[in-house]
Structure 1
Amino acid sequence: MRVLAAMSGGVDSAVAAARAKDAGHDVTGVHLALARNPQTYRTGARGCCTLEDSRDARRAADVIGIPFYVWDMADEFHASVVDDFVDEYAAGRTPNPCLRCNEKIKFEAVLDRAVALGFDAVVTGHHARLGADGLLRRSVDMAKDQSYVLAVLTRAQLDRAVFPLGDSTKERVREEAAERGLAVADKPDSHDICFIADGDTRGFLEKRLGAAPGDIVDGRTGTKLGTHNGAYGYTIGQRKGLDLRVPAPDGRPRYVLSITPVTNTVTVGPREDLEVDTVTAARPIWHETSATVDCEVQLRAHGEVVPASVAVTSSEFVATLKSPARGVAAGQAIVAYRPDPGGDIVLGSATITAGIRASAHA
């Protein structure tokens, strides 16, 4: 096949491109320039938006012996990922920008352009597997598994995707990079959010949304416990940084239970009030033939799986959890998996709209 290898400048994408070439594919490397000003995003070797990353990707392509190009996709990235990130927080939701980048940039904008240029598929360094049956599965390295952020891909996109690293641990990928003479063998993994240079998400949002003071209230009594400078600075399940002026009667910590943008209110309460037993979600992507299945669901990247019964329509995804979950935030993805000896299979995903507590059903 004629394939386009997306090369971030990290070790995973470099080894993935090399493996694709070894497999006999006609490989062309491309680095995505995602920052309008690379110096305003991350510096050093921690992200995917720096000048250093572009140079590392080019050097890796030279060692592998493949053509290499840089595609400027800064405007697309800003509109589909950065602006979406800000808008979601403003609406009281907690987005996953890595998931949105995979959906809108790497497997929509890039894949569409690649196909238009005559490529058959896009190769990435994601740790996930595509079986001979075309089903997306978890990586053998559960600590690095990225099937959660890939579960948003459609069947048509998966049919044109290649994930060469799904059968290897991260340790083995680094060893192979060193064996191949790739300078990125020891390069640190990226962390946090690539477009927030200092890691200060709350400060990043305040610069774009402005200060918006409001109340923090007790979820059981409605009592005002403190104030905040912007509800967008909080997420469901958060415990630290609440700066409450009224301690809990029992001395236990409080957690963020809900965020209401209309009233600019953050509601807090004890940890047990975070528990939900039903999760509703929208924009489902579903690969299973049955619309109702017993499976396992994951509610956050790298979060634990929970047994559930899932019912899916064209517009809604409802998971009835068989054991309560905590910290379920609107805007995150819910991903359904079917346990399988060959690796857990992704059945589908959707964007969480609400977590419902058992006491709220009455």
Structure 2
Amino acid sequence: MGRPIYLDYQATTPLAPEVFEAMLPWLRDQFANPHSAHRPGRAAAAAVETARGQVLQLLGNHGKLVFTSGATEAINMGLFGGARLMRARDAGRTRIVTIDTEHAAVRDTVLALEDQGFEAILLPVEPDGLVNLERARAAIDARTALVAAMLVNNEIGVIHPVGTLYDLAEEAGALFLCDAVQGYGRVPLPPVADMIAISGHKIYGPKGIGALWLRDGLDLPPLMFGGGQEQGMRSGTLSPGLCVGFGQAAKLMRERFETDAVHVGALWERAVELFAGWNINGSTARRYHGNLNIRREGLDAGRLMSECRDIAFSLGSACASGSGRSSHVLRALGIGEKAARSSIRIGFGRYTTLDELEEAAAAINMAADRQ
């Protein structure tokens, strides 16, 4: 095997060549601060606003977009700001409802808000990984300040019914935040939401930038204080290069939506054939097809990874790698600790070739057979 085969698209995506070219002038030559009033600064500011518009186009061309350092900051801004805003309006709203299988950026932030007097409710999921809507209906009530749910799960790829969860939140008078990091530009976004968090490096853009989208009329108290940039909600100097890269990546996602979907769908169908002897974790009917999370009875997934060093795949969320714990997402499916440790995640996308997928599958299956 030559260069490593990259099959970890949920952790991060390759930088699109068009994105690199768009960023280069702003990293090399045009270095002005976009918040400066002189001509180079105004040119940088104009590039930032063009990028903002490009990112907003995939969000319906309405609402407000606040650039952040990534989705984790955007989620923290939305959860902390939204919770405080709602409690200031109504002291009785102290409940925050989310799904037990959320990314740590949501799950851990919701749990951290317990130290500020909020009650965290983690909704269970069904064996297929989808949220239990009956439990959601029971939990989302007049005490609820905020409901947070991911569109596409980062570990098992299932697509949650976020539209229904928004309806429950709206009926209860609560805010709704959608973590759309894995779905933005890949699957249809929720038709309505109060806040949406997205990330640049999950859509073939640069790392170090994300955004929080807010519906028209919603203003949150800032998480960070300073110069009052980003409409007073997020102080700090923006990087024009990162913003331009994020904007170009979003533009490409919009232009290539159908092409990417067809390509990923074809890879999914072949991957299911190649791994026919494995069990798929999570729903296959409601799923983003660029995510294949599979398990094989008796497999030591950690050993498998060490034996397949030339293939980049995952045992779960990259954010939890090295913790020594099995995936909380897989455990929530009820498959047990042993099965969770016998699971791997394979992610593919725009730049994955069929030959790469077949070569990787042959090596993974061979190593698994040896066990």
Higher helix share: 2
Q: Common fold, TM-score beyond 0.5? A: no
Higher strand share: 1
TM-score, normalised relative to structure 1: 0.31
